Amino acid sequence: MKSPLIVALDYADPSAALDLAALLDPSQCRVKVGKELFTAAGPRIVEQLQDKGFAVFLDLKFHDIPQTVAKACQAAARLGVWMLNVHASGGKAMLEAAREAVDAASGHRPLLIAVTVLTSLDAPALLQIGVADPVPVQVQKLADLSASAGLDGLVCSAREATQLKAAHPDLCLVTPGIRPPEHAADDQKRTMTPAAALAAGADYLVIGRPITAAADPAQALAAMLAACAVL
């Protein structure tokens, strides 16, 4: 599929997620199931979305001891998802354990990507958790660690896409914090417009509220696709 869009189905109610999915075309976007929806609805919602033809990014951001993350990745791979993620800050042993677990999964092999620095964090927020490096430096360190563990891609803000594409051209870059010019940043700190994110080197754009909270989500998606010039 040519479309770079991944719609974040951030709902507490599975029927709300399915209602939104019914307005979307699986040939025009992928969907993301995150912590809120998965905790409320469980693996069944992943199966339901896949049955409707959607490629699913299971965004549970695993971050735990290597054994626990490996087992969680195995379970996610068994669900048949297109992509799953872990936190790069879980460390190299955890990333390698995740890599081995996904490689060992029988049959379907999802893309395994690592979250670098959340798009809701800025330099003062990093300092509060003991990271004095500027955001792009910390992102680069976690990207390099993820690459050395053999991951398939990175979650980063589009603001770091150009530097990461240059350093790791083989890794796919998944960028949340995408905001059309007229849309509020909400709790996101490192944002970019869809077109600017693609121009910077992002491969996939994760978009939630600009579509899910729109009065007409299908129209909002169409506008987003047009902004990315992929229609």
Ligand X SMILES: O=C(O)c1cc(=O)[nH]c(=O)n1[C@@H]1O[C@H](COP(=O)(O)O)[C@@H](O)[C@H]1O
The residues binding ligand X (CB under 6 A) are 8, 10, 34, 59, 61, 85, 115, 118-119, 155, 176-177, 186, 188, 206-209
Please give the Cα distance from 22 to 15 (Å, whole number): 10
Identity of the residue, 28 or 119, whose beta carbon is nearer to ligand X in the bound complex: 119
Please give the Cα distance from 51 to 189 (Å, whole number): 35
Identity of the residue, 104 or 164, whose beta carbon is nearer to ligand X in the bound complex: 164
The distance of Cα 142 from the centroid of its chain, to the nearest Å, equals: 16
Shortest Å, Cβ 95 to ligand X: 15
Shortest Å, Cβ 12 to ligand X: 13
Identity of the residue, 69 or 206, whose beta carbon is nearer to ligand X in the bound complex: 206
Shortest Å, Cβ 188 to ligand X: 5
Which helix or strand (DSSP H or E) is residue 96 part of? helix 92-104
> By the 8 A CB rule, do 145 and 98 touch?
no
Q: Which of 32, 35, 52, 61 is labelled catalytic?
A: 61
Q: Is 61 a catalytic residue?
A: yes
Residue nearest to ligand X (CB): 208
Catalytic residues: 61
